[in-house]
Every structure is written in C-alpha cells, then in structure tokens.
Amino acid sequence: MSAVYSSSALRAEVKSVSQLASRRRSRRRLLGLFALLLVVFAVSLFFGRYPQVGLISPAQLAEDALAQRLILNLRLPRLIASLLIGMSLAGVGMVMQMVFANPLVEPGFLGVSQASAFGAAVSILVLGGVNWQVQISAILFGLFGLALSYLLARRVRYGGWVLRLLLAGIAVSALFASGVGLIKYLADPLRQLPDITFWLLGSLSSITWRAVLSVLPLISLGLVFLWLMRWRLNLLALEDEVVFSLGVAANRERLLVLFMAVVITAASISISGLIGWVGLLVPQLARRLSGADSRDGLPTAFLLGGIFMIVCDDLARTLSAGEIPLGVLTSLLGAFGFLILMTRRTVKV
C-alpha cells in the first residue's frame, strides 16, 4: 500500500478526530437537549392561564386545591400527550425520510393521516362524537390506509418499490381526503361539522388521562423499537440492490419499520387530530444538528419533537383566552421554520 496515505500517525489522528470526538460531541448534544426538554416540561407544568397568564408558584400550589387538580388532571396528561405526539411525529418523520430516501416525506403520507381523518369523521357522523369511538375508528382507518397503499403499491407497474409506495400513498391520501370532504358536506352544520373541523385542525384541549394512557403503551413500544433500529435506518436508506448485497432483506425490514411507524402515527393522531409539519420540519432540523447518521439523528429528532410540541401546545393554550387549534400553530411555526431552514446558506438535508 502506498506510503503516502498509510502513516499510522494520520490514522490515529483521523480516528481521534472523526470517530471518538464526534461521538462524544453528539452524546453531549443529546444530554443538553434532554436537559432542555426536562426544563421545558417542568416550566410548562406550572405555566398557563389561571386565570391570568403566568406561573403558579409553589406557595400557591400548596394551599390551592383547584390549582393542584388543574396541574394533576389537566396539564400533566396534556403535557405527556404533547411529549408523546411530538416524539412520535418527529421520530416517525425521520424514519420515513430514511426509508424512502427522501427528505420531504412526512409521517402522514402513505394515506395514514387522511385515512385516520376519514375514520374520525365517519365516527362523528354515524356514531356521534364519543371520544373513544372516534379514537378507535381513527386508528383502524389509519392502518387500513396503510394496507391499501401497500396493496396498491404491489400492483403499480412503474418504478421501484419505494416510488410505487409513494405513488400509492398519494392516491390513497387523495381518495380519503375526498371522502372527508363528502362527510363534511353531509354533516349537520350545527352539531357534527364543528366536531369534524375541530378534529381536522388538531388539538389537545380535551385530552384526558384515559386517552393518554390508552395510547401510551403502544407508542412507547413503537418508539423503543425504532430507537433500537436506529443504525439499521442508515442502511435502509440505500437502494434496494445495495441493501440486498449487504445481506439484508431490504423490503421485509422496511415494511416492519414502516408498520411500526404507522401504528405510532395512527395512535398519536387518534388522540390529537391532524397535526402537520412537525414530522417534516423536526427531522430536517435534527439532521442539521447531528449529521446524517440516524444513530444520533433519531434520538435528536425525538427530543426536538417533544420540545417543539410542548412549546406549541403552551402557546396554543395561552396565546388567547380560547384555544388556538394546535395543528394551526404547528403548521404556522413549522412553515416559517422550514423556510428559514431552506434559505439559510448551508443546507444539509
């Protein structure tokens, strides 16, 4: 081997610079983000309208039973829900962008969002707006949307597997979106339509402990699974042929990961309604912070997603006396954030 390149000094330097130092740096960054998340969570617990915007002081909390109940029964479940949903949407967005090798993919595509919305709308129209029924219907239809996209993709005779799934997802989304439109047209404009619209805009204002606990096990399980697969995601982003030659059953593993991702998404959407942009923006941000390696990127996306969603929900419940729909806020902040990200000089997607 050529002597120019193989000096052991260079090798030692490269090793210290590229490998160890960057792992140490990324661990510090993750710890920092985790600390930030804890702070945001803790502050948000005591922050809000009661009845004026501000923090509830410990002294006030000790003697005010109403404040205690507010924090324990309203804010805490709501915060946990924001955390779960933020982590889910951001993490799933990252996973999907890797699996589809496309930085513009978001969790709801593959028909999941629109199918869940359709499920919720049908349930509101036919069964009335009972919370747990809407929730179950949203999850079931979300999974049905995925199944439909998958079956359709198998029949598309154009492009590779990834492109076919993408195309099928677009078609299925459009189909359910038109279904939602039809239901909105049929719905009683005084009783049902506001419920449907409210759900489509996304909100955590009526979240309960029961709703949070109903999805907590499923989402936690899914997130842990995705986290365990984080190195494998780097691999699954490559072309079929390459993944295959590296001894990995590409499509089987992608399908497993996607299924988990969609289950998490559907479960999140089922308690919050449609919340856009988090799953698109946060993974981009995470990749810019941590580089393309999803060993660091995925945990970064989890933490950033949690922080972003908690802050958005804080704003949603305090900016005005009434609630601002959460989905509206995330889209607003998300779109602005996206524009800033894309127009900055060093874009690394």
Partner 1 sequence: MTDPILRFENVVYTYPDAPHRALQGLTLSVPGGQVTAILGPNGAGKTTLLRLAYGRFQPQAGQIWLEDRPLAAFSRQELGQRVALVPQREANPFAYSLLEYVLLGRAPHLSPLQMPAAADVETALSALETVGLLPLVKRTVQALSGGEFQLLLVARALAQQASLLLLDEPTSHLDLGNKKRLITCLQNLRENGTTILLTSHEPEVVAALADQVVLMRGGQVLRSGLLDEVWQADLLSETYGIPLRVWKFEGRRHLTWE
Chosen residue from 74, 248, 333, 341 binding partner 1 by CB under 8 A: 248
Determine, following the binding rule CB under 8 A, whether residue 341 of this chain makes contact with partner 1. no
Using rule CB under 8 A, residue 27 touches partner 1: no
**Does 158 help bind partner 1 (rule: CB under 8 A)?**
no
- Judged by CB under 8 A, does residue 16 bind partner 1? no
For 83-134, where are the E strands, in sequence order? none
Residue 287's SS3 state is: helix
Of 11, 28, 49, 154, the one binding partner 1 by CB under 8 A = 11
Choice from 143, 201, 215, 237 touching partner 1 (CB under 8 A):
237
Rounded to whole angstroms, how far apart are CA atoms 339 and 349?
13
Question: Whole-number minimum distance, CB 287 to partner 1, in Å?
Answer: 7
User: Minimum distance between the CB of residue 166 and partner 1, rounded to whole angstroms?
Assistant: 13
Helix (H/G/I), strand (E/B), else coil: 277: coil
The secondary element (H helix, E strand) that includes residue 55 is strand 53-55
Contacts of 174 (CB under 8 A, 6+ apart): 114
Interaction between residue 254 and partner 1 (CB under 8 A): no
Using rule CB under 8 A, residue 342 touches partner 1: no
Nearer to partner 1, 187 or 280 (CB): 280
Instruction: Determine if 295 is a binding residue for partner 1 (CB under 8 A).
Output: yes
- Burial letters for 113-149: b for 16+ Cβ neighbours within 10 Å, e otherwise? bbbbbbbbbbbbbeeebebeebbbbbbbbbbbbbebb
DSSP string, 229-269: THHHHHHHTS-HHHHHHTT--HHHHHHHHHHHHHHHHHHHH
Of 124, 165, 229, 269, the residue at the interface with partner 1 (CB under 8 A) is 229
Stretches 6-14, 64-72, 175-183, 192-200: which one binds partner 1 (CB under 8 A)? 6-14
According to the binding rule CB under 8 A, does residue 206 interact with partner 1?
A: no
Q: Which stretch binds partner 1 (CB under 8 A): 53-61, 119-127, 180-188, 231-239?
A: 231-239
Residue from 207, 221, 194, 227 nearest 309 by CA: 207
- Under the binding rule (CB under 8 A), the answer on residue 49 touching partner 1 is no
The distance of closest approach from Cβ of residue 24 to partner 1 in the complex, given in angstroms and rounded to an integer, is 14
Under rule CB under 8 A, which residues in 262-291 are in contact with partner 1? 287, 291
Q: Which stretch binds partner 1 (CB under 8 A): 117-125, 172-180, 207-215, 235-243?
A: 235-243
Neighbours of 343 (CB within 10 A): 8
Which residues, 6+ apart, have CB-to-CB distance to 162 below 8 Å? 99, 100, 101, 102, 240
DSSP per residue over 181-238, as a string?
HHHHHHS-TTTHHHHHHHHHH---TT--HHHHHHHHHHHHHHHHHHHHTHHHHHHHTS
CB of 151 to partner 1, least distance (A): 19
Q: Which is nearer to partner 1, 10 or 342 (CB)?
A: 10
CB atoms within 10 A of CB 233: 22
Q: Is 175 in the site for partner 1 (CB under 8 A)?
A: no
Site of interaction with partner 1 (CB under 8 A): 1-2, 5-6, 10-11, 14-15, 17-19, 22, 98, 101-103, 157, 228-229, 231-232, 234-235, 237-239, 241-242, 244-249, 253, 287, 291-293, 295, 348-349
